[in-house]
Amino acid sequence: MDRRPFVKKLSFGASLAIISSNKLFSSIYENEKFKLNYAPHLGMFENSAGKDEADQISFMSEMGFAAFEDNSMKSRSLSTQNKISKALESNNMSMGVFVAHKIYWDKPNLTSGDSSFREEFLKDIRESVDVAKRVNAKWMTVVPGLLDQRKNISYQTSNVIETLKRASDILEPHGLVMVLEPLNFRDHPGLFLSRSPQAYQICKSVDSPSCKILFDIYHQQIQEGNLIPNIESCWDEIGYFQIGDNPGRKEPLTGEINYNNIFKFIKEKNFDGILGMEHGKSLSGIKGEKELIDAYRRVDS
């Protein structure tokens, strides 16, 4: 037997299989939408879709995702913002959160009552209105910053509430919503806002449809646990969720959080908003991207 034609055919077949692997992968769940509006980030499927932002968004849509979020949207160029907006529109996908302002991790700002910090924050909010309109976003993330160790917590709370009331006055006419994100003590020590009841109290005090809670399930598992009861207690002020398992901050089913029951609860509450996938992947490469999608299929069912 002459092995040369056989080897040549085998090599061609193997190459064809490699070339086709991404297409095969992208067709596994094509057009099968998830029950909830999970929102991936850029880079999450870069191995499968390539580096181009529009291609990544199209791939997300093919995999069944109906939303997308991008913390860094505000810092991206106008051309990139417009490109992302066009890709979302052509794929009939919703835009999730972007970070609305400069976050101070090293010193108190909104808690201090300092007028210069307040005006800087409000300027950022006004600029974020333009970004939101450009990319057809509704939600933007707000983190009030560090505790002031030299000031009574009640004064700090009043300072934050007053600033957020003024920000709400800017956002309300445009139908936009800032979502306050409590962060955990381990990853972000010393922050003013760390627990969901605290965020709930602030939103009730601001009393605006433009000021709601971003309930990050990863952060609140670390900070307070008791997830479903706390979600239920805060329900009327929650505008947005973010996802990540603990420990590790990877996709669901890699840690201790029972995402099957949490998503079931959220679905039964008829939540039609966005759940941002603010986490990493447990495995690298295309294999890790497939594993991520498979994990979401399991918990979404």
User: Tokens 């908003």 map to which residue?
Assistant: 273
Q: 168: part of which helix (H) or strand (E)?
A: helix 153-171
Distance CA 178, CA 172 (A): 10
| Percentage of the chain modeled with pLDDT above 90 | 89
Give burial (CB, 10 Å; 0-12/13-18/19+) of 57.
Answer: buried
What does the pLDDT look like over 243-263, one tens digit per residue?
Answer: 999 999 999 999 999 999 999
Asked if residue 91 has pLDDT above 60, the reply is yes
- What is the per-residue pLDDT across 165-211, written as a single tens digit (0 to 9) for each? 999 999 999 999 999 999 999 999 999 999 999 999 999 999 999 99
Q: Which pLDDT belongs to residue 213?
A: 99
Residue 150 predicted with pLDDT over 80 = yes
User: Which pLDDT does position 10 carry in this prediction?
Assistant: 39
User: Six-digit token pair at 42?
Assistant: 């850029």
Residue 15's pLDDT is: 39
Q: How far is CA 274 from CA 6, 105, 191, 243, in A?
A: 52, 26, 25, 10
Output the pTM of the full model.
0.90
pLDDT, position 12: 40
- List the structure tokens of 84: 């992302």
Query: Rounded to an integer, what distance in angstroms lies between the CA atom of residue 32 and that of residue 27?
Result: 10
Mean pLDDT across 93-119: 97
- Beta strand 274-276 with 238-242: parallel, antiparallel or unpaired? parallel
Answer with the residue of higher pLDDT: 2 or 243: 243
**Which three-class secondary structure string do you get for 90-131?**
HCCCEECCCECCCCCCCCCCHHHCCHHHHHHHHHHHHHHHHH
Which among 173, 192, 103 is positioned nearest to 133, based on CA atoms?
173
Predicted confidence (pLDDT) per residue in 3-62, tens digit: 444 334 433 443 343 344 455 454 455 558 999 999 999 999 999 999 999 999 999 999
pLDDT for 272-281, tens place per residue?
Answer: 999 999 999 9
